[in-house]
Amino acid sequence: MILINVKFTVKPDAEGRFLDEVAEFTQATRAEEGNLWFDWYRSPEDPQVFVLLEAFKDDAAEAHVSSEHFQAGLEAMRPLLVKTPQIISRQVDGEDWDQMGELQIED
């Protein structure tokens, strides 16, 4: 799978509405064939920082970045951001989360 983490820093006046502004983009991406997950998280230390954790089946990310909703999503974000987002994108084994080996909880 392709695992992608993106860190977005938004303008102070956009903190409260950022997730609403990207909701259509989020829904469209989650509906894509090959999308495994597409989840937003907000930093507890800095309310201006949002992190997107996303994963796609092998080669599905290419269709994602070529989609109309991807371009529309970027344009919706652009005026809300302080700086260029930071990204980590890697090909990894598997197609889902694994259990943590160092901390096991018995069912």
Beta partners for residue 3, in sequence order: 55, 90
The ranges assigned to domains in the chain are 2-91
9-65 pLDDT per residue, tens = 999 999 999 999 999 999 999 999 999 999 999 999 999 999 999 999 987 777 787
pTM: 0.91
Residue 38's SS3 state is strand
Residue 29 buriedness (CB in 10 A; 0-12 / 13-18 / 19+): buried
SS3 77: helix
Tokens 């371009």 map to which residue? 71
What CATH number should be reported for the domain whose range is 2-91?
Answer: 3.30.70.100
pLDDT tens, residue by residue, 56-106: 998 777 778 788 888 999 999 999 999 999 999 999 999 999 999 999 998
Question: How far is Cα 11 from Cα 90, in angstroms, rounded to an integer?
Answer: 28
